[in-house]
Structure 1
Amino acid sequence: MASIALAAYRLAGIAAYPFSGLLFAVRAAKGKEDRARKPERFGYPSLERPDGPLVWVHAASVGETLAVVPLMRELKRRDIHVLLTSGTVTSAEVINRRLGDEVIHQYVPLDVEPAIGRFLNHWKPDAAISVESEIWPTTILELSRRHVPQILVNARISDRSYKRWMNNHGVAEQLFGKLGLVIAQSDLDAERYRDLGAWPVSAAGNIKVDTDAPACDPQLLARYRGQVGKRRTWAAISTFEGEEQAAVMVHRALKAKNDQLTIIVPRHPERADELAAMMVSKGLKVARRSRDDVIGADTDIFLGDTIGEMGLYLRLTEIAFVGRSLMTAEGGQNPLEPAMLGCAVLSGPKVNNFRESYQKLVRCGGAKIIRDAEMLAKAVHFLSTNDLARHKMIDASSECVQNMRGALATTMKGLEPYLNPLTVKARLEPRSQVR
C-alpha cells in the first residue's frame, strides 16, 4: 500500500510538472519567487560543479540556514565543497549577504522527477544533509536510488506532522528508513523519528544555540539609540497575522503610562504596507526602517520591515515578545536569538515547534508564557517599570542559553563517518581544484 501511495505521488508530480510554471508565476507575483533564477527551481543549474567532493546542504529558510553556517564552514575547512539550497527569496538574500562565495547557492528544485533528476545529474553530491524537518518523497527516493547518503540534522518534528506521518506509517517507514542518520534536537524528537522508521537516531540538542547572535551595524545602532533616547521600548518580533494588532493594543494601553516605543518586526516584511496602514488608521505615528524614517519623540511604532536586521531591532530593547504563538498563529518562532541578545522573552502558548527551548527558558526564569493580549500588556508594563525583575529574567535567559550549548560539536562527531572519507579524498586531490 505504501509503495502504491509513493508511486502515485511520483506520477502526480510528473503529471503536474507541465503546469508548475503557472504556479511559479503566481508565487513570483507575490514576491515569493525570484524570476531571474526561475530555471534553478526546475533543476537547471546556474553554475558549474567544481571538481572534488561536494555535500548538498538543504535549509528551507533563513533560520535553518543561519543554524548550519558553522557546520558548512567546518565542511569548507575540510576542503569539501558546499552546495546550499533554500526555498525562499529572503533566505537567498541572507545567504548572499552572510556567506557570499563561501558556498554555492541554488534554489531547491521542485520535488518532481524531471527537476530533481536534472539537479542530481549535474551536481552529483557525495552526501545530502537536510536541516530540521524537510522531507521530500521524490528527492529521498531518488537520492536512495543513487546511493547518496542522506542525513537529517537539528531534526525536529511537530505534533501535527508526527500525527500525520503516524497515520501513514507504511509510507513513513519507506521514506524515513532511507535516511542514513538522524541527529535530533531533543529526546522526544529522536523517539518520534525512531517510531517513524528512521535508524540510527541520536539527540544532540539545538545547534542554533551554538551560532553567533545576529550582528548589526554599530553606527546604525548608535544612530537609532540616539533617536530613541531614554524612552522605554519593547519589541514584538516574528509576528504573524493578528499578533501585530495585539501589539498595537498593548502599545495604546501603555502609551500614557510608559512613554514607550513599540518595535514591531513582522515575520513577512511584504505585509508592511498593510500593517502600516492599519497602525495609522488607529491614530499611531509609524517610522519604517525600510524607508530610513527617523524615530521622533512622538513616534509610536518602529516598524522593522527589513530582512536580516533582527540584531538591530533586538539591541534596541530588553523585552521581546516572540510571535507565531498567539491569536490564530501557532508553532512558535525561535526564542534563542532574543535570549542571546539580552532580552526578557515573552511568548504565547502555541510553541510546539520550539517546545524544548521554551521549556528550558521558562524553567530557568528567562521566559514567560502569556495567554492573551491583556496578559501581554501586563507583562510588558511590569517588566518595563521593574528593572530588578527585568534584569533577573535577562540574566536567567543568558545563563540558560550558555548551558544549552554543545549541540554543534555533538552533531559534527555524529557526521564523522560520512565526512572523514570525503576529507581524505579532497586532500588527495590537487589544491588548485578546490573552490
Structure 2
Amino acid sequence: MTPLACIWHWAATAAAPVLPVYLRRRARRGKEVPDRLRERFGAGAARPDGPLLWLHAASVGETVSILPLLDALGHAAPGLSFLVTTGTVTSATLLGRRLPAGLAGRVAHRFVPLDVPRWVRRFLDGWRPDAAIFVESELWPNLIAATARRDIPLVLVNGRMSEVSRRWWGRAPGLARRVLDPFVLVLAQTEADAARYRALGGAAQCWGNLKYAAPPLPVDAAELARLRGLVAGRPVWLAASTHPGEEAIVFAAHRRLAPAHPGLLTIVVPRHPERGTEVAAIGAPLRVARRAAGQDPMAATDVLVADTLGELGLFYRLASLAFVGGSLVPHGGQNPLEPARLGCPVLLGPHAWNFAEIVERLTTVGGLTRIAAGADPAATLAEAVSDMLTSPDRGRAQAEAAAGIAAEEAGLPERIAAALLPLLSLRDEAAAASDGRDGVGPEMSGPLGTGIVDDRN
C-alpha cells in the first residue's frame, strides 16, 4: 500500500463515527433517502442466484449512459442479474423510470457505500459480484482495492479524465497506479481522455462514447398532446438544465424577446428540480407557472418553470429550440445530444468544456449555435433565440445535422457487452441466446472520494 493510500484508508476509518451525522443532514435536505441510509454503510444486500454484474454510476449522466449497455447485456445474457449503485437520489429515481423493458426484475439498485473500509467489506461480502464496471470517473481507492483483493474483475467504461484531474492525480503517481492497475479494461470516451489515463499508468483505449448511444429521452405521448393543445399557435423556447445564475439571464432574455414575438412562452427546466420555488421567484414580475405545483401554461403565462424530474424529453419535443444550460455560467455545460436526438435545435453558451468533443463535432457539421461570451449575455441569448424563431428552416437544417452526429456509435453498447461477457464466463450462454445482434468486441488480453470527480452529466 502506498503512503497516500494508507493515509486515505485510515482517514476514512477515522471519519466513520461522524459520517452518520453527515448523512442524516443530507437526508434532511433531500440529498439522501432516510429509509435507505443503511445502504451507505454497505448493508441491505439481497444477492440473487446466478451470475451478478455490478455497475457503479455516480449520478444522472452516468446512469443514463449505461442504459443502452444494460439493454445489450440483458439481451446477450438472459441469465445475468445486475446490481446498479449510484450516489444521488435523482439518479436512483431516474433508473427506476428509464430501465429498458424487460430488465426491471433483473436489476437491483443500491446507494453506493461511502469509501470506509469496513462498510466496503460489508457491501462486497453481501453482494459478491462476479465482475464490476465503474462508469466515467468514479475512482474510490478503498472500494477499488477491496474489490480487487476478492479477484473480482474490474472494468472502467466511458472513462473521462479532465486535464485538471490528470494534474491532480499526477501529484500522487503511486496512488494513481494503485487505483488504475486493478482495471483489466479501461475504455475512455475520447482519445484525449485515453491519453490522460495512459499518462497515469492506465492501459486505456478509446472505442467511442456511450453518450452517443443513449436512447432518446422518453415522453408521455398523451401529456405532450395535451400541452401542445394548450400552447398551440404560441412561439415556445426552452432553457434546459439551467444552473444558478442562468435563470436571471433567461428571464431577462424573455423580456427582450416578448415585444417582437407576441405570445412567447419560455420554459425553464432547472437542473435540480428542488430549486423550482427559487427559480420562479427570480422571474417576478413575469407571470410564472410552476409545473410541480400543478400549474399549466395558460394564455397569460410568460414562463413555465418545469421543476419536475424525468420530463425533459417532453419539453424538448414541445419547444421550437432549446438553450442547454450549465454553459452560460462556468459549470461546463450539459449534454447537447439529448435535444439533438429529438430534432430540437440547440443553443449553447461559451462554457461547454464538459462535452468538448461532442460540441466540436456538432459545430463542425453546423449542428448547434454557440452563444459568445459578452458583457450582456441576456442580449446575446435573446438575439440567438430570435434568429431561430424567425428562421425555422435554419433550425430544421441544424437539427438534421445534429441528429446525424447523435446517431453515431449506435453499435457501441453491443461491442462493449461482447467484451464484458467473458469476465462472467458466459460465452456459451451468450452464443445460445443470440438474438441476431452482430456487435462483436475484440478479445481482451487479460465527501469520500478521491481525485477531482468531473461534474459532467
Deviation at 1:404, TM superposition (A): 4.6
1:146 to 138, 143, 150: 150
Uncovered stretches (5+) of structure 1, i.e. residues with no partner: 429-435
Deviation at 1:9, TM superposition (A): 0.5
Q: How many residues align?
A: 421
1:398 paired residue number: 403
CA deviation vs aligned residue, 1:94-144 (integer Å, no higher than 9, x gap): 222233433011111111111111000000111110111111111111111
1:92 paired residue number: 92
Give the Cα separation in 1 of the matches to 2:346 and 2:360: 12
Contact 2:72/2:413 (<8 A) preserved: no
Does structure 1 residue 178 correspond to structure 2 residue 182? yes
Give the Cα separation in 2 of the matches to 1:408 and 1:98: 16
Larger helix share, 1 or 2:
1
Q: TM-score scaled by structure 2?
A: 0.88
Contact 2:235/2:265 (<8 A) preserved: yes
The 1:312–1:324 alpha-carbon spacing in structure 2 relative to 1, beyond 3 Å, is same
Deviation at 1:301, TM superposition (A): 0.9
SS at match of 2:18: helix
Give the Cα separation in 1 of the matches to 2:163 and 2:322: 26
Amino acid at match of 2:345: A
Contact 1:332/1:352 (<8 A) preserved: yes
1:224 paired residue number: 227
Amino acid at match of 1:30: R
2:4 paired residue number: 5
Deviation at 1:412, TM superposition (A): 2.5
Contact 1:52/1:426 (<8 A) preserved: no
SS at match of 1:254: helix
Q: What pairs up with 1:96-111 in 2 under 5 angstroms?
A: 96-99=96-99, 100-111=104-115
Deviation at 1:337, TM superposition (A): 0.7
Q: TM-score scaled by structure 1?
A: 0.93
SS at match of 1:396: helix
Give the Cα separation in 1 of the matches to 2:172 and 2:334: 27
1:432 paired residue number: none
Deviation at 1:376, TM superposition (A): 1.6
Contact 1:264/1:301 (<8 A) preserved: yes
Contact 2:58/2:138 (<8 A) preserved: yes
Give the Cα separation in 2 of the matches to 1:116 and 1:426: 31
The more displaced of 364-373 and 81-90 is 364-373
Does structure 1 residue 188 correspond to structure 2 residue 188? no
Q: What pairs up with 1:247-396 in 2 under 5 angstroms?
A: 247-259=250-262, 260-280=264-284, 283-327=285-329, 329-372=330-373, 373=377, 374-396=379-401
Does structure 1 residue 119 correspond to structure 2 residue 123? yes
Amino acid at match of 1:6: A
SS at match of 2:407: helix
Contact 1:326/1:350 (<8 A) preserved: yes
2:69 paired residue number: 71
SS at match of 2:226: helix
Amino acid at match of 2:298: G
CA deviation vs aligned residue, 1:246-287 (integer Å, no higher than 9, x gap): 11111111011113111111111111111111112xx11111
Amino acid at match of 2:310: G
Give the Cα separation in 1 of the matches to 2:117 and 2:431: 34
Give the Cα separation in 2 of the matches to 1:320 and 1:182: 34
Give the Cα separation in 1 of the matches to 2:383 and 2:173: 45
Amino acid at match of 1:183: L
SS at match of 1:18: coil
Contact 1:75/1:81 (<8 A) preserved: no
Deviation at 1:425, TM superposition (A): 7.8
Contact 1:326/1:371 (<8 A) preserved: no
Calculate percent identity across the aligned residue pairs.
43
Contact 1:131/1:155 (<8 A) preserved: yes
Deviation at 1:424, TM superposition (A): 4.5
1:243 paired residue number: 246
Amino acid at match of 2:389: S
Give the Cα separation in 2 of the matches to 1:210 and 1:147: 31
Contact 1:209/1:404 (<8 A) preserved: yes
SS at match of 1:180: strand
2:57 paired residue number: 59
Amino acid at match of 2:87: G
SS at match of 1:276: helix
Give the Cα separation in 2 of the matches to 1:258 and 1:404: 39
Deviation at 1:387, TM superposition (A): 1.5
CA deviation vs aligned residue, 1:375-413 (integer Å, no higher than 9, x gap): 222111101111121111111111222245333233234
The 1:360–1:404 alpha-carbon spacing in structure 2 relative to 1, beyond 3 Å, is farther
Please report the RMSD computed on the Cα atoms of aligned residues, expressed in angstroms: 1.8
Amino acid at match of 2:277: D
Give the Cα separation in 1 of the matches to 2:245 and 2:61: 22
Contact 1:339/1:398 (<8 A) preserved: yes
Amino acid at match of 1:335: P
1:431 paired residue number: none
SS at match of 1:227: helix
Does structure 1 residue 49 correspond to structure 2 residue 47? yes
Uncovered stretches (5+) of structure 2, i.e. residues with no partner: 433-457
Give the Cα separation in 2 of the matches to 1:68 and 1:285: 39
Contact 2:73/2:417 (<8 A) preserved: no
